[in-house]
Amino acid sequence: MDEELIATLKTEEALYRAYMPFVNKGGIFIPTENNISLGDKVKVSLLLPNEKEPIVFIGKVIWITPKSANESHRTPGIGVELRGVEGMRARKKIELLLKNRLGSHQPTETL
């Protein structure tokens, strides 16, 4: 395991901005300035809105917004593909929480 990250999404808005539905298995954007590369495997502890316990899964880095993006008012971070049983559980919970917002044209952290 290359890196362990904690992502706490306290509101539905934060979750919407972080979720990457265009990724085949679903993905989540995690703000970080850590030196992480595309293809790295990371352990993610993901706490969703109104949940008491995080979902922990191993994901693959599929997106990088570099530190230099700060200059254009974008948040540096990585996109992690939701993988494995726990990743799929996270995707189902996320899509249930965002069911009325998926497909919206509001901006997110990635697109």
Q: Range of 33's domain?
A: 3-82
How far, CA to CA in Å, does 69 sit from each of 26, 33, 41, 110?
23, 11, 23, 11
With contact defined as beta carbons under 8 Å apart, do 94 and 19 qualify?
A: yes
Summarize pLDDT for 32-86 with one digit per residue, the tens.
999 999 999 999 999 999 999 999 999 999 999 988 776 677 889 999 999 999 9
Is 74 within the bounds of a domain? yes
pLDDT at 1: 59
Task: Report whether pLDDT(111) > 60.
Answer: no
- For the chain, what is the largest distance between any 2 Cα atoms, rounded to a whole number of angstroms? 37
d(CA 78, CA 54): 19
AA letter at 75: T
Is 30 within the bounds of a domain? yes
Number of separate domains in the chain: 1
d(CA 47, CA 8): 5
Task: Report whether pLDDT(105) > 80.
Answer: no
Residue 32: CATH number of its domain: 2.40.10.220
